[in-house]
Amino acid sequence: MLKQKIMKAKLLLYFPLLFTFFAFANVSLAQMANNYPNDSGIESDQDVLFVEKFAGSLTDILSRYNDKLNTEGMFLDIDVPPGSKEKHSLKMTSITGGMRNGGYLFKEFKPGFDSTVHVRYYVKYQSFCQNDEKGTTIFCTHKLVLDKHDKIIPWYSPRENAYDHFLRLRWDFIKKQVPNSPGPYPRSKYPQYYFYCAFKDNNGVLEPDSWMNDIAEKIPNWFENARLYYAYSGDSSVMTMMKEFIDYTLEHGTSPLDFAWPGFPYTTTNAGDTLFRGFTSAKRFVMHEIQVDHAGEMGLTYLRMYFFTGDKKYLNEAIHIADVLTKNAKTGNANESVWPYRVVMDSGKIIAPYGANWTGCYMLLDNLIKTGLGNVAAYGSARDKTRDFILNYPMKTGYWTDGHSDTEVISNTYKSNLSASNTTLCMFDYPDLDPEWNKHIPLLIKWTEDNFVFRVSDGEPSTMWGANIVGEQDFFNHKMDYQTARYAAECARWYAISGDESYREKAYRSLNWVTYCNDSTGKAFESPVSKGILTWWSDSYGECPRMFYHAFAGVPEWAPPGENHILYSEGILTNVHYAKGQIKYIATAVMGTEYLRIAFKPKQITVDGVAISESNDIRPDTYKLRNLGNGDYSLTVSHSRAAMILISGDRE
């Protein structure tokens, strides 16, 4: 008896037109095809055993099969082969994501056959995942590599260097592969990422997308990625790039001083604009309209740039932004947040009164307070209002509202993973934000899983090869590399605190998936399971890679062995210097903690020349050391003041 699984889905497959089984002796397969152009009428041929044209409802189609798997991942689709007379194909999505546990339809033929049976079918693979001529699965241009449990591991070898390789690839792409913007001058003297939100690859030529420019998402995320990469690698060129980018934005993207929101950052502009005045071309927003949360993140970036450079122009901008925020802060409620989410800066008109992405504003105010800069007393009041709103409303309701910078959200029930994720990550470094942070962090991770992993759109998978992949927001819930990296960072850091191995596993698989999301030059594929989604500069070259440093802080074993790296610090580090058996840097944070992986055992660690002692706990002016084997150590340094840190070992 012949039993034949006639459909087997790995990932996302389209079966357009039909499946045909033949059993014949007097006619060739080619003759059979020629007799029925476009397969019209082939079901009436006496030598044809079975034809599936996917006609009727999905229920009708499924009724023709003896066994099914993952029917919840099957959909009728209008995508059919050229020339087909049929209306539908069957789209099959592997919900569980494993290579061997995708969907199928199983049909049994009785009493079976004692001759050769031929099968012909039409299949379309989603472009992100194909099989080569040897049957190897190719995902985002890379050969898919699975472990013995059919779960994803990095494509790059040696695999212990895969995350490091990923981070370097993305910076290499920025440095070497990005052309300047199209003219006229002076736009043509600057790289495309200055004036455009995304890019598209036109036969190997990088062209800018014409949608918009998300300045205040791009600048803060790129700065964070740059300053963490600088500390990790010692490569100061990325900070030079960021200084130039920030200087341009300061000069061309700040509101006039006679506005209701004066001297405040523009958060968006139209694609190609060299003077930033708002995203108006799509008619979603009006001139001078901003998202206040992202403007606050710009203020935090200016403050951090001051800590890095010592240039007071950045400090003055940060203080001014904090002053405007403080002036406009109010006690929030379920309908109105501390600040309006969207406001028109010249008139002060409020467009959207509720938002939930306020950790950037919180950190700006908190850092100014801790360093005694600006109107500390007033900042304290605004900071407390921010904390109280976060804890009393979105933390309780789950309405983490934010539309990024191109979605016209006016709602107090809209959900965005960005807002919840920013709050989660903030609590690891700012536990004073939430006295119950150890209760709320795992709940927020689950919130992401419920709303943006297992809730899917357009038939996209929730998991792939054991990796949870994460969507963005209610109206645009496509699975993305940077949102997946955010989730992995949260899981890794929670694992370090809780010791719960399930979070380490979640982080590992999701980060592994992210490493596939660019080609060998570093050209990113932001949404490889989505159709028609371009790669955004802010997301894939700022927000995504910076999450790996959070993950390193949680699991230092994932940094490359036999090398010295500062893996993560919330505070800004300057004057980073790596030498054999020695690491030196200046920590600018009043209270700071740095996470490192080093290839030597420290003999002494000093803070401004004063030796600190080893401790089993992370306390100010101590360090914690953990043996990783083969001469490598995980090192955590804590200090109670801004200072030069010197880590010394055997230099022979």
With cut-offs at 50, 70 and 90, classify the pLDDT of residue 10. Answer: very low
pLDDT at 23 over 60: no
Q: What is the b/e burial string over 395-429, where b = at least 16 CB atoms within 10 angstroms of the residue's CB?
A: beebbbbbbbbbbebeebebbbbbbbbbbbbbbbb
* CATH classification of the domain holding 365: 1.50.10.10
Same domain, 65 and 197: no
Cβ–Cβ < 8 Å for 54, 77: no
Split into its structural domains, the chain has a count of: 3
Closest CA to 179 of 517, 516, 482, 523: 523
Q: Of 386, 403, 437, which residue constitutes the final position of a domain? A: 386
Q: Which of 89, 107, 125 is the last residue of a domain?
A: 125
Rounded to two decimals, the pTM is 0.83
Q: Do 92 and 216 share a structural domain?
A: no
Q: Are residues 224 and 339 in the same domain?
A: yes
Per-residue pLDDT, 133: 61
Single-letter amino acid, residue 374: G
**Domain edge (last residue) among 371, 386, 401:** 386
Domain-embedded: residue 164: no
Same-domain check for residues 92 and 236: no
pLDDT, tens digit, 9 for 90 and up, residues 260-313: 999 999 999 999 999 999 999 999 999 999 999 999 999 999 999 999 999 999
96 and 11 both lie in a single domain:
yes
The answer as to whether 498 is a domain residue is: no
Q: What would the pLDDT profile of 167-188 be if each residue is shown by its tens digit?
A: 999 999 999 999 999 999 999 9
3-8, strands of its sheet edge to edge:
3-8, 104-108, 67-69
Is 282 part of any domain?
yes
* 197 within domain boundaries: yes
Instruction: Tell me the C-alpha distance between 501 and 488, whole Å.
Output: 13
Q: Is residue 75 part of a domain?
A: yes
Q: pLDDT digits over 581-624, tens only?
A: 999 999 999 999 999 999 999 999 999 999 999 999 989 999 99
Print the domain residue range for 590. Answer: 565-648
Residue 461 placed within a domain? no
Distances (CA, A) of 590 to 82, 361, 366, 543, 620: 66, 19, 12, 26, 11
Model confidence at 1, pLDDT cuts 50, 70, 90, reads very low
Q: Do 103 and 208 have their domain in common? A: no
Domain presence at residue 529? no
Containing 232, the helix (H) or strand (E) segment is helix 215-233
Q: Is 453 within the bounds of a domain?
A: no
